[in-house]
Structure 1
Amino acid sequence: MKIISRKNIQPPQLPKALPSGSIAALQDEDEVSMVLLSACDMANTSAAHLLFEKVALKRVSLAASQHAKPRFVDCLLEASDLSGIDWEQARFRRVAFLGCRLIGAQLVDAEFEDVTFKECTLENAVFLSANFKAVRFEHCQLREASFESADLPGVVFDDCDLTRADLRQARLSGADFRGSRLDGVQAGAQELRGAIVDSTQAIQIAGLIGLIVKEYGQEVDE
Structure 2
Amino acid sequence: MQHGKALRGENLNGVDLSGERLAESMLRGVSLVEATLIGTSLRSANLSGAFVSAADLRGADLSMSFLGGAFLGWALLQEADLCGAYLRGADLREADLGRAFLNGADLSGAYLGDAKLVMADLRQASLDGADLREADLSGALLQGASLRGAMLAEVKWTPETQWPEGDVDAIRQMSREEAEGRFVINTDDSVPSGIRIQHPPS
Q: Give the TM bin, normalised by the shorter chain.
A: 0.7 to 0.9
Q: Which residue type is aligned with residue 156 of structure 1?
A: Y
Question: Match of 1:118, SS?
Answer: coil
Aligned to 2:65: 110
- 2:77 aligned with 1:122: yes
Question: Match of 2:43, SS?
Answer: coil
Aligned counterparts of 2:68 and 2:152: Cα–Cα separation in 1:
23
Question: Given the alignment, which residue of 19, 23, 29 partners 1:64?
Answer: 19
Aligned counterparts of 2:45 and 2:53: Cα–Cα separation in 1:
18
Aligned counterparts of 1:102 and 1:200: Cα–Cα separation in 2:
24
Structure showing the higher strand proportion among its residues: 1
- Bigger Rg, which one: 1
Aligned to 2:56: 101
Aligned counterparts of 1:115 and 1:207: Cα–Cα separation in 2:
28
**Equivalent residues in 2 for 1:89-168, closer than 5 Å:** 89-168=44-123
Aligned counterparts of 1:206 and 1:101: Cα–Cα separation in 2:
26
Deviation at 1:188, TM superposition (A): 2.9
Aligned to 1:176: 131
How many residues align? The count is: 170
The answer to whether the 8 A contact 1:203-1:213 is kept is no
The answer to whether the 8 A contact 2:9-2:30 is kept is yes
For each residue in 1:63-91, what CA deviation from the matched residue of structure 2 results, as whole angstroms up to 9, or x when unmatched? 01122211112221122110101122110
Q: Which residue type is aligned with residue 148 of structure 1?
A: N
Deviation at 1:122, TM superposition (A): 0.7
Q: Which residue type is aligned with residue 147 of structure 2?
A: L
Structure 1 residues 172 and 93: CA distance shift in structure 2, 3 A: same
Deviation at 1:177, TM superposition (A): 0.6
Q: Which residue type is aligned with residue 175 of structure 1?
A: A
Aligned counterparts of 1:147 and 1:214: Cα–Cα separation in 2:
25
% of aligned pairs identical?
24
Aligned to 1:73: 28
